[in-house]
Amino acid sequence: MRIEGWEIVVGDSRIHVVLALLVIFGIAWIIGRITATRNANRANKKWFTKYRSDLISLVEEKQQQYPWMAQQFADLLYMLDMDVARELEYKKHPAIKAAEQVSNIAKEKRSIQKTLKMLEYQVEFYESAFPWLEEFKEVDPKEAWDYAKGIEDKESEYERLRDWLSPEEYQKLPNVQKYQLALDRYQKRTKSKWEIGTDFERYIGYKLEMKGYKVKYQGALLGFEDMGRDLVAISDKRILVVQCKRWAREKTIHEKHIFQLYGSVVLLSCQDPKNNYEGVFVTTTVLSDIAKQCADYLGIRYYEMCEVNKYPMIKCNISKGGEKIYHLPFDQQYDRVEISTKKDGAQYVYTVEQAENLGFRRACKWNPSKERK
């Protein structure tokens, strides 16, 4: 091999010096890129191995705390985002600027993701501890607020009927006709989730009353303070603590609802050890397999896929003083009235006309201040 001017002579072959240098530099550049890619792959593999180990620890951790779990989750997503940035940087046609942008966004996202995940974990914990919070998810905020605060301030009789009757109907129609019209509209109109749930509790309560139980409608009266006791049904031999869930068929009841009911049964048993309390869970949907196993083990009876059939909704009650009064579902004292088959004359009827033909009158608004005078 010899050099003649700008050429390198190897045997009979001649290679231009500039071309030779370009070939050498090209090979060096390719070797450098291959080495850099291998190093990056080793770094990715090392990173992935580290976080795979952390994820296994996360799954197996028994004493998990929200900040630690949220940090691990955020780090995992950050790792995946950075992997995208590396692919952009080291691909065949590198996108260096795009890789830098993805890297910067990943760093910002990491902090946001950690905060979001912490809040998700907290909500899941609260729903696990207080299952009734789930009922707020699909409800209008104002409706949920009104229900939770128990807002009801309707002084006059018409104020209590204005949702069902126009002023003209209230003034001109005879009592039997206007009360029946209000009841018909109440039954047919689209109801809120709270009202749907209350109707289900009332239906189950009616079925229990027809079996001879004295029923207290705690869910309708106490709302979220019922501690999972929608109904308390009392007989001579036992007391049933009933939780009712009127959920869509595609939903599933999980074990936390069974635990809440069981806890309520245990509390009542501790407060009143002389009586025998039993838990009963009634729903329009199904329980998960684990929820069923827990219910069987804890002695909670459950009834799935329950239908709500038409039943007489007007409560005809006889007071201690012998006064015969009927209550419509939207009346103030409706859920406080207990209809017992053991009480002569007390009963449920379908129509206002039936109630009045039996000698009952419509309930008036109860005013505790007037009662004290």
pLDDT of residue 74: 66
**Residue 132: DSSP 8-state:** G
Please state, in angstroms and rounded to a whole number, the distance separating the CA atoms of residues 343 and 334: 17
Asked whether the beta carbons of 75 and 50 are under 8 A apart, the reply is no
Q: Tell whether the model's pLDDT for residue 339 goes beyond 80.
A: yes
pLDDT at 370: 45
Task: State how far the Cα of 307 lies from the Cα of 314, in Å rounded to an integer.
Answer: 20
The whole-chain average pLDDT of the chain stands at 78
Q: Name the pairing type of β-strands 361-362 and 324-327.
A: parallel
The pLDDT score that the predictor gives to residue 371 is 44
pLDDT tens-digit profile of 252-263? 999 999 999 999
pLDDT tens column, 70-125: 666 666 666 667 777 777 777 777 777 887 877 878 777 777 777 777 777 777 77
pLDDT of residue 97: 80
CATH architecture of 193-372: 3-Layer(aba) Sandwich (3.40)
Tokens of 249: 């068929």
pLDDT at 63: 45
Tokens representing 340 are 């017992």
Residue 143: both structure tokens together: 């409706």
Q: Which helix (H) or strand (E) holds 266?
A: helix 255-271
Region 154-173: mean pLDDT is: 80
What is the C-alpha separation between 287 and 295, in angstroms, rounded? 10
Q: Which of 322, 319, 315 is nearest to 352 (CA)?
A: 315
* pLDDT score of 235 more than 50: yes
Beta-sheet strands, E only, within the chain: 2-4, 7-10, 13-16, 214-216, 231-234, 239-245, 252-253, 277-283, 286-287, 301-303, 314-318, 324-327, 347-349, 361-362
**Residue 279: phi, psi to the nearest 5?**
-90, 140
Please state, in angstroms and as integers, the Cα–Cα distance from residue 39 to each residue in 42, 47, 88, 274, 312, following that order: 5, 12, 15, 75, 78
What residues does each domain of the chain span? 2-129, 193-372
Q: Which tokens is 12 given?
A: 């009979």
pLDDT top residue among 338 and 50: 338
HSE (CB half, 13 Å, CA atoms) of 311? 20
Identify the pLDDT of residue 204: 96
Look at the alpha carbons of 182, 184, 188, 193 in this order and tell me if their dihedral is positive or negative: positive
Supply the pLDDT for residue 199: 93
pLDDT at 368 over 60: no
The model's confidence at residue 193, banded by pLDDT at 50, 70 and 90, is confident
Segment 269-308, tens digit of pLDDT: 999 999 999 999 999 999 999 999 999 999 999 999 999 9
Beta strand 13-16 pairing with 7-10: antiparallel
Say whether 9 sits in a helix, a strand or coil.
strand
User: Residue 327, Cα to own-chain centre: how many angstroms?
Assistant: 33
In degrees, to the nearest 5, what angle opens at C-alpha 33 toward C-alphas 31 and 38? 95
